[in-house]
A and B are shown apart, each in its own frame.
Chain A
Amino acid sequence: MKLTKCVIRQFGPLRNKSFDFGDGITLISGKNESGKSTLHTAITALLFGMEKGKGRAAASGVYRANLPWSEPDIYGGSVVWERGEVKVTADRDFSRTPPQSRLIVEEPARVRQITPEEVPFPDGLSPYVFTNTLSFRQIGAATGDGLAADLKNHVMNLRSSGDEHLNVYAAVHELKNKRKALERRIDAAAEAEDASLDQTLREMESRSLSEGGDYDRLKAEADAQDARIRELTAERERADKELRQKEALLTNMGTTSRETVEDDLRRTSVLCEQMEIYERDYKGGSTGSGVLNLLSLGTVFLLLFAVFFFIRIIMNGGKLWMLIPLFVIALLAATFFVRLTRRADANLADEKNRQILTGMLSRYLPDYKAEGTQKEAGEMKVYLEKVLQLFDYLADKRRIFEQDTEELVSLSASREAMNEALNEQLVLKVRREQWELSLREAMARKEALKPVLRENARLRDEVAAAARAGAALTMLAEDASASFGAPLTREASAIFSEITGGAYDGLEVSDDLELYALSAGRKIAPGALSAGAMEQLYFSFRLAVVRCLWPHEEMPLFFDDSFAMYDSERLDACLNWLHRNYRGQVFLFTCQDREKKTLDRLGIPYDSFEL
């Protein structure tokens, strides 16, 4: 491809300029702001067109930056290039909306107007590729990871006859970003928590829960015991109170002991009997009447009279049989006498009994006005019998009280023992309940995590899909670069070694298109090189890229102040190499006269334009 002519009607500060380009080196010089870079841009725009409202040009502001401010309706120009026998003229008017192009192809047999899609550019040449391969601006400034990736991308796309618009590495980069963004949305903490919950649940499931199962039974038993203890205690208290009352009563009654009462009862019984006998035999009825007393007395007097009478009879010669009445009377008298004596004794005994009775009554019932009657004796007997019954009752009560006390003591002891077991079981029960609670909480938490985990799974699918897409694109890029890498490296190494005068053995291009200078078997990263050497490294590489991309066609090269960082030795080497080895056109845009002087000094022919 050879540029033969460029006409600028108006483009940025350039106005009504015309350039006819020859083979070899063309030097376009001018001071800063003279329009060298604008001419470079104008050639690109005239070659490939420039969109006004959209696309890269608009995005980068090229259209607007170069819009003439004095006469904006004149904005454009034309460029002519040749490829073998084919001549192409592109005349473009950027002032129109959309910009208009008139594209003419002159072939040996015919001349025709073509559409933009029909422009016979070398394979794969596009504004983008042009900018990144043929157009050398500040190489050092433009080289970096991005350039390497861009080159790799374009190499691949171009070599695969693909679409130069595609930017595989940018796409891979976007996929990587997309993947990272998706990964950031994955709630890894939730997954860790879920795994931890699984572990917890497994551990919980393996734990035995049989312990603590007796608590309820024990508790029921303990409750029953407590109820019994309460019942016994209440009963005991009641009994105790009653016992105290009754004992006080007995004390008040003057009863100190059951034996005393029993003695008194026996005595009272005897008294009753005696008084009954007395009443019956000595007091009541005929035995106790005044008549009997009178009869007894009369009998005694009659006996005395009879004794006197019989003594007189006997003394007067009476008969013995006459003593019989005397004997009878004496017997009667003796009888009455005995009787009277016994009655006297009975009366005494009765009196004594009454006193005893009265004494007992006053002892048991101090407030009672006792008379010592038989009735009172009977009542006393009944009373004492009741007192004895009370004693029996109290004894019975006391026995029950003691039994209750024993049971209470026993129950209390048992309850104490049960308390320990109960406490143990309670601890176990609480543990079990905690287990159940923890289990439910863990299960509930797992449940709550489900939507998050579902979303995580979905995100992981998306991540995997994005990763697969990225991997596929990368693999395609690697395939292309693999087929391109070896010749590229060979070519670049040869150029680099030559332009550095053998200071470096060559260069190495890594799989990622990172460049390393090779010197004495060492790999030197661009960052470790001097600025000039680094520029030479990239110069070599890009020239090699151009040669590899278009091995059968010499493409025009554009160096826009590209050698600013070069010292004179390096500049000599580069220009020499271009002169000797590159058959295509070389356009040098420079604001310095170094290039001119060098070309002159080295005797390298060139055309020149002064802007």
Chain B
Amino acid sequence: MWEKFLKSRKQIIFTGVFIGVFAALLQRWGNPPNMGICVACMLRDISGALGLHRVGVVQYLRPEIIGFVLGSLISALAYKEFKPRGGSAPIIRFILGFWAMVGALVFLGCPWRTLLRLAGGDANAFFGLAGLVVGIWIGVFFLKAGYNLGRYQRSSSFIGWIMPVIMVGILLLLIFKPHLPSGVVFFSIQGPGSQHAPIFLALLIAMVIGFLAQRTRFCTVAAVRDIIIIKDTYLFTGVMSLLLAALISNLILGQFNFGFQDQPIAHNNQLWNFGGMVLAGLAFTLAGGCPGRQLFLSGEGDADATIFVIGMIIGAGFAHNFDLTSSPNGPGRWGPAAVIIGLIICMIIGFSMSDQFRKKREA
């Protein structure tokens, strides 16, 4: 029985293990602690490098993000799945990306980093994980009530190439490091932004991850969603593989340190670790996937996912400029209020885009 189970799931398990092992190794090779890969943190660093926020310690053009998109693009082109499309409520997707980022930066991590923090022994991440599950569960409530953002339209191939071209542009900025009078491109000289693995090594690993994830549909949020709605564990197997592979790798590399106190790039205000991820989980579910998945979709031509990612980058800029983000000392001054506002906005989106509630209004 086990043999059959493993055979039917070997690709998703391999993808999870690959991400887990190489996230731990990327950390060994220079990325910040428990942050071998974090889609939210890395988009935030890109936002900073481009000058959308001016927090000096979190500014870097992360090649991992570039690699995710380009790896997915290569896979989609190779397997004839590059499908330029868009037009499914783009402005709503922008808003969801914005608030997903705010929630993630109050917790300090995306769903992937939640798993990687757990695998590094950071017990605070349990509260983030619980928040994530609750957020997804609220999102499923809306899905069952008929929530949808309308169908996408097939579009000209130009639409599908926008994100890959943006990523190539960012890669060129990373390689040539131009310094303009305004100060951009900013690269941190201390703090997490200054910690990074060698550029081309990180890019290559991320491209393989992008390729594998496009093939397997790896998604942390859909993993939980599928368990709640259809009791299917295919994607969840991949998520558990990531967690276990990262845990074992961290134990071998001596990167495991269990506890609540003094965890790297984390705080122990559990209420807002939880609350931040409720917001992120809800926003991801309403948008149809975790931030990693949104990057992979944008690589295969999905302009709606591209808008979501741009919403996250802009959200990161706002979150830092308006003191919404947490630091190791705890939530930012306006972080908790922002989470509540974000939840209200996501709920309004959930209700207003659901058939059940639309019909009631029209009746």
Do A and B bind? no
